[in-house]
Structure 1
């Protein structure tokens, strides 16, 4: 929300960094104005560990004892009172956590590769709208599943997404990918902003607003021209880059925020204007980090991507569960009782139908549209 006489969020807050304290002089800074490449890449390297611990905590919360009848609980963040679990409960926690890690890898790796292969096939065919890169309805449903589990659960959206006809999903996503602008986001931000692509998704698809539309476009542009990458309007990125709402260090106590509800849900309208603020802020941060990376050309390190920024924002928001340790910092939190050493992810055995389904998608990504439409629905 913009107050009278103030600048838009993306300009007013992003251009006004916090006042630096004595602790900031020695501690790694998470401020988008001062974060270094070293700190950024360190945070990026612990993304999967953070996802694992955050999801473990979510499953753990479901196993907490129900309040006694007649008891009055104060509204606010959920409290963990039970930290020891029997073998069956531990198995449930591990299986559900591994299952979500598999879904997370599918969102960032498998599905973007599938879409990229469909786009590549488009160069060999002409006259078919669906050969410009697209999503299937089953994939859109899984994207929404990831979105709700990765962030705040909003059950009504899933029912709306499932009500979309298969053909509408395929055609609208194909159109959205096809009309993505090919302009430099720094030198020509107005021309590069994907307004037409957002409209191509939000108008015909139920349950798809600007935030979910940006997620779809993000998945479809992870691979390819860096200038055409689209950032996902995630709560984490918006809080960090637009609202300047984040813990300055790993051991800083989380303070009450006027930007979030007690359950952690962002207080926002999720409209195009807010997304434009986020889009501009993300582009500026990526440009600064890549300009500072003088070692990138002499090493195998890839330039910072928009997906990288999204992941780092997630770690920063969940820094108490991340295991982050910087100069003079230790991770001390109330949640530490439920954090345990991570085991290497078991990709081949990482639970049930999701991994089997993702493998099937990858194996059939290069076949015709007719074959792809015959995949088993969940």
Structure 2
């Protein structure tokens, strides 16, 4: 397993899930700072904000057949290449598509998906253009339905389908449907969304410092802080300190000694 101390998708708790989700942004910031960007390029962090922010806000809220353009696809592919494994020829293949064909295919696929929820059919149709396989097709679907459709990211597949092991991936529609099935099981168990499962998987597979224990320690500190808070608006009374033996009067000392001798005789 890439991260031996991390929880599996079947054992992760709601608190651990939330803890991992909160760790995503700092991790992306760190990776973005390390990678940097060439002149005129967006940073990974900027692309990430587009993918999980602007793109989701725009496409998931459209009730009609969404007019996704070739430029939109290119932007998402750029994020995919910078966020995961870089493939130098992929972008050129995507850019070689006819803009009208991309728009029509995206519109038809998403319209049908919103009517029948058929993931397999949507992935098949979205995979028709050049340079767009099941993984990229799942990305286009995911920004339209972030609650239920998960992006076919390496990290998500490793965590949900390979027991956290970095195993070979063929990027087939069959593999994606296996990922989709397990993601939906986790969605149902924890009441979470697919878009968040993606980010949690990324943290668990990419951040070796994240473990099940790190979430538990955070919980423990929070619980201790909560217990220290007064339960009412009034200040709690301080417990009365016991007197030290040096502060005990001679009479009290004599009485205590006699009492101890009596108890000792009774126990023998």
Deviation at 1:308, TM superposition (A): 0.4
8 Å contact kept, 1:53–1:321: no
User: Which sections of structure 1, spanning at least 5 residues, go unmatched?
Assistant: 1-17, 19-23, 60-91, 123-131, 184-191, 247-256, 260-266, 291-303, 330-378
Count residues in correspondence.
215
Q: CA deviation at 1:143?
A: 0.7
Question: Is 1:244 aligned with 2:163?
Answer: yes
Cα 1:280–1:193 shift into 2, 3 Å: farther
| Counterpart position of 1:109 | 53
- Flag structure 2 segments of 5+ consecutive residues without an equivalent: 219-268
Cα displacement string for residues 249-286 of structure 1 (whole angstroms, at most 9, x for unaligned residues): xxxxxxxx5x2xxxxxxx21100111111011101111
Find the counterpart in structure 1 of residue 215 from structure 2.
Answer: 326
SS in 2 for 1:180: helix
Structure 1 pair 278/305, CA: closer, same or farther in 2 (3 Å)? same
Q: Match for residue 31 of structure 1?
A: 8
Question: Structure 1 runs of 4+ off > 4 angstroms?
Answer: 95-98, 321-324
Displacement after TM superposition at 1:182 (Å): 5.1
Larger Rg: 2
Q: Distance in 2 between matches of 1:235 and 1:179?
A: 27
Task: Provide the rounded CA distance (Å) in 2 between the counterparts of 1:113 and 1:216.
Answer: 13
Q: In 2, are the aligned partners of 1:211 and 1:232 still within 8 Å (CA)? A: yes
What is the deviation of 1:193? 4.3
Distance 1:114 1:151, change over 3 A: same
Q: Does the 8 A contact of 2:13 with 2:190 survive in 1?
A: yes
Give 1:231 shift.
1.0
Contact 1:50 1:321 in 2 (8 A): no
For residues 46 and 98 of structure 1, do their structure 2 counterparts lie closer, same or farther at Cα, with a shift above 3 Å needed? Answer: farther
Q: 1:238 to 1:45 in 2, by over 3 A?
A: same
| Correspondent of 2:34 among 57, 60, 69 | 57
Task: State the 1:230 CA deviation.
Answer: 1.2
Higher helix share: 2
Pair 1:244–1:176, CA change in 2 (3 A) = same
Q: CA deviation at 1:181?
A: 5.5
2:78 is aligned with 1:145? yes
The 8 Å contact of residues 111 and 219 in structure 1, kept in 2 or not, is answered as yes
Contact (CA 8 Å) 2:67, 2:103: kept in 1 or not? yes
Instruction: Assess if the C-alpha contact under 8 Å between 2:8 and 2:164 holds in 1.
Output: no
CA displacement at 1:134 relative to structure 2: 2.6
SS at the partner of 2:16? helix
8 Å contact from structure 2 (residues 127, 133) kept in 1? yes
CA RMSD in angstroms comes to 2.8
TM-score, structure 1 length as denominator?
A: 0.52
Corresponding residue SS for 2:163: coil
Task: Tell me which residue corresponds to 1:210.
Answer: 134
Contact 2:142 2:151 in 1 (8 A): yes
Residues 1-378 of structure 1 aligned to structure 2 (within 5 Å): 29-59=6-36, 99-117=43-61, 119-120=62-63, 122=64, 132-180=65-113, 192-203=117-128, 205-222=129-146, 226=147, 229-245=148-164, 259=167, 267-290=168-191, 304-320=192-208, 325-327=214-216
Cα 1:102/1:269, change in 2 over 3 Å: same
Contact 1:52–1:101 under 8 Å retained in 2 = yes
Question: Secondary structure of 2:169's partner?
Answer: coil
**Structure 2 counterpart SS, 1:326:** helix
Determine if contact 1:53/1:322 at 8 Å carries over to the other structure. Answer: no
Q: TM-score, normalised by structure 2?
A: 0.72
The CA distance in 2 between the partners of 1:172 and 1:33, in whole Å, is 36
SS of the residue aligned with 2:130?
Answer: coil
